[in-house]
Amino acid sequence: MEITLTHYLVLATLLFLTGMLGFIVRRNAIVMLMCIELMLCAANIVLAAFSRWHLDLGGHVFVLMSFAVAAAEAAIGLAILVEIYRRRRTVNVDELTTLME
């Protein structure tokens, strides 16, 4: 029994699909952001797996970049959500259909 690249790709695919379906089904904007984080994590696993496959550390460097982008995205996204909540008293995307108040 041996763990191959296929195992990691299948795992990352499952995680990505979970995140994607969650993003489509859920209506709570904060949980939708969490689903984006899960999808980013799946992409990171693929990067690390291919990095191991090629024995090239470039993939690890790009996972680090992805960490930084995920942190920036979470900070900005949550700041926008807090501001939306201040104005509209909801974070349900079904009710946030207009840009103006």
Partner 1 sequence: MEVILFYFCGALMVIAGAMMVLSRNAVVAACWLIFAFINAAGIYATLSAPFLAVLQVLVYAGAIMVLFLFVVMMLQGPVLAGERRRLRPWLWPFLLLPPLAILLTVAGFLRRADNTSFPVAAPAGFGSAEQVAGLLLSRYLLAFELISIVLIVAIIGSLALGKVDRRQPWK
- Burial category of 25 from C-beta neighbours within 10 Å (exposed 0-12, middle 13-18, buried 19 and up): exposed
Q: How far apart are CA 77 and CA 65, in angstroms?
A: 18
Exactly one of 43, 90, 97, 99 binds partner 1 (CB under 8 A); that residue is: 90
38 lies in the binding site for partner 1 (CB under 8 A): yes
22 lies in the binding site for partner 1 (CB under 8 A): yes
51 lies in the binding site for partner 1 (CB under 8 A): yes
55 lies in the binding site for partner 1 (CB under 8 A): yes
Q: Which is nearer to partner 1, 89 or 99 (CB)?
A: 89
Q: DSSP class of residue 59? A: H
Report residue 41 as tokens: 């994590």
